[in-house]
Structure 1
Amino acid sequence: MRDLADIREEIDSVDKGILELFLKRMELACQVAEYKISTGKKVYDKKREEEKLDKLSSFVSDDFYVQAVRELYTQIMSISRKKQFAILRDNGFSFDSGFKRVDDFDFSDSIVCFQGVEGAYSQIAMDEFFKGKMKSSFHVDAWRDAMEAIVNGEADYAVLPIENSLAGSIEENFDLLSEYNVAIVGEQILKVEHALLGLKGAKIEDIKTVYSHAKAIAQCDEYIRTQHMDWDVKNLHNTAASARKIRDDQDITQAAIGSILNCKLYDLEVLEESIQDNKENETRFIIVSKDKKYKATASHISLCFEIPHEPGSLYRVLSNLMFNGINMNRIESRPIKGVNWQYRFFIDIDGNLNDEAVLNVLTGLQEECVSLRVLGNY
């Protein structure tokens, strides 16, 4: 049996040789990039890479090494592309996001819409974000109506919930972002304090039926399940609309789950405060606009893309982030309408559209994705 130290010394020697060959290969990849710049050819050549992988893997017979060779050279070719994308950027081939950089936003003449009736959490988020600087605001019945208001020019901005720290993503609004050509220009994180609201004079023991939005009900699941299993819980499209229903019906056996703000608006009283399961419950709202603009200080980018339906494509695409040192904060997938079992991806990354590393990432994504769209920088 050979001594371990001798084996490791030989491994070190082999690794040094591999490294020298790798650097030589990368130098050749740079020459390929220069050729592609002069001829206008795309960096990513799927057919060429597949042919290369098939040829290299044919040199080994063991099934383990066949897969290992494909994995190794997939990674090497991915690294080569990242270097070539950077060279393209150095030669003026910049990604055009379609967004305009501004120093700040002027909301003084703006009209803002939110989904729900007066007192909805979306209105509270709107007030927190705009701080009364807008010209006026109005509410719509559905999230799609808010998007339509933006596209049709009835509103300059719309406020939409996108995810909750407890109940998760608002899937419908991700779908709307992909459907409508709007831009995310800001976000507002709102701490959600759910209360049980009833008619004045009502007591908890009087309550038989409770109304609220499905997400709000989900956020109070433990409270309802462990303390009030006998309640008939019904979904309405909005928490504030639920509070309004309690006022309109004037039925002492009914209550709503919603913000305490609704007590004053709809002449109700709080039967119990802070009934949400997670006392640190927060909802993230996005502010969308038809105008694609971003502030010079923006540090958060949202992207939407579709990728080839094949093994390794998501890894290949996301490796653009790793090689450019960009942090990804979240990833979400949604089914592509009309195509079974294929998905569209939404990711949030750190950075600004003026950053070189971000532009390198976007250049790579544009080449390697079936489609790519910058949703916003805020």
Structure 2
Amino acid sequence: MKKIKQIFYLGIKGSNSFLAASLSAGNKVKLSGLASFEEIFRSVEKESSAAGILPLENSLSGSIYEIYDLLTDSKTFITAETEVRINHALMQKERTGLQKIRYCLSHPEVFRQCRRFFSDNPSIETVPVADTASAAKMLKELGPDTACVANPAAAAVNNLRIKKEHLEDNRNNYSRFITVGRKLKQHGNKISLMFNLKHVPGSLYKALSPYARLGLNLTKIESRPIPGRLWEYLFYVDFELNNGKHGFDEIITAMKMLTKNLKVLGRYDKYDKIKNS
């Protein structure tokens, strides 16, 4: 596989995606921020020596469906995963009381993960922006009645003052990031698939039965409506192979017989928290 020379991520330096990219990148790998998830996918499709890192799901707010939708249509594949502990910090140019904050900038996903804080402070109007690091950068040009929520690293980059850390509803807050590239890896102990089913009774049960028969660990199943096709769904599945490798050919053969439009979204190694702690 061609050596990766560049990794694309969402936003600018100081974002959570930048942090994930920094953890995943090796020496001499260029990190490049882009404005949207779609732009990351398109850029990776054009460059064989590039990869993109994207948030796929959060332990509090669940899946980021835009990524699943883009994976479905993309010519890229998942090649790795990593987990990043998230710390949503409220920051200002100058510290003031909470009662003086009228507006707060951040990414919409951040506001979803911090529902309790904003419910307890209803006078603060949430203002969605492209990413958390951009919110911190914008804050430098705004008045004292505006704050933002971002990674603490963004405060250091932009010379901001942290008012409060860990705004998230639960401190056990992790985001799962995936790396995408142009080539499907031939090795790895974790697989991601996408498929749809005939609209008949028992079709989902039959599609999932081979996992039990082969003793495979099904770690996730997600469904998404198919645009323009009423009450039809795409299914996304993650599973782990036996002993790291056994079962791939068997499950793919079985799924081709039981599903429609089967697509392997990626093959990669399961993230090891202990190894990476």
Q: SS in structure 1 opposite 2:141?
A: helix
| Partner residue, 1:164 | 58
* Rg larger for: 1
Using structure 2 for the length normalisation, give the TM-score. Answer: 0.91
Report the residue type matching 1:291 in the other structure. K
Measure the CA separation in 1 of the matches of 2:243 and 2:184. Answer: 12
| 1:178 matched to 2:72 | yes
| Partner residue, 1:289 | 181
| Partner residue, 1:127 | 22
Q: SS in structure 2 opposite 1:248?
A: coil
Determine which of 193, 199, 204 is the counterpart of 1:314. Answer: 204
| 1:145 matched to 2:39 | yes
| Partner residue, 1:114 | 9
Report the residue type matching 1:204 in the other structure. L
Measure the CA separation in 2 of the matches of 1:118 and 1:181. Answer: 27
Contact 1:300 1:352 in 2 (8 A): no
| 1:236 matched to 2:129 | yes
Report the residue type matching 2:222 in the other structure. E
Matches within 5 A, 1:278-357: 278-295=170-187, 298-351=188-241, 355-357=245-247
| Partner residue, 2:274 | none
RMSD: 1.9
Matches within 5 A, 1:60-139: 106-107=3-4, 110-130=5-25, 132-139=26-33
Query: Deviation of residue 248 (structure 1)?
Result: 2.3
Deviations 1:328-378 (A, max 9, x none): 001011111221211110000001798442321110101221111111111
Against the structure 1 CA distance between its residues 247 and 311, is the aligned structure 2 distance closer, same or farther, given a 3 Å change threshold?
Answer: same
| Partner residue, 2:146 | 254
What's the % identity of the aligned pairs? 28
Larger strand fraction of residues = 2
Q: SS in structure 2 opposite 1:217?
A: helix
Query: Deviation of residue 203 (structure 1)?
Result: 4.0
Is there any run of 5+ residues in structure 2 with no aligned partner, and where? 269-277
Measure the CA separation in 1 of the matches of 2:213 and 2:184. Answer: 28
Query: Deviation of residue 275 (structure 1)?
Result: 1.5
Report the residue type matching 1:229 in the other structure. P
Larger helix fraction of residues = 1
Using structure 1 for the length normalisation, give the TM-score. Answer: 0.68
Against the structure 1 CA distance between its residues 154 and 198, is the aligned structure 2 distance closer, same or farther, given a 3 Å change threshold?
Answer: farther
Contact 1:112 1:134 in 2 (8 A): no
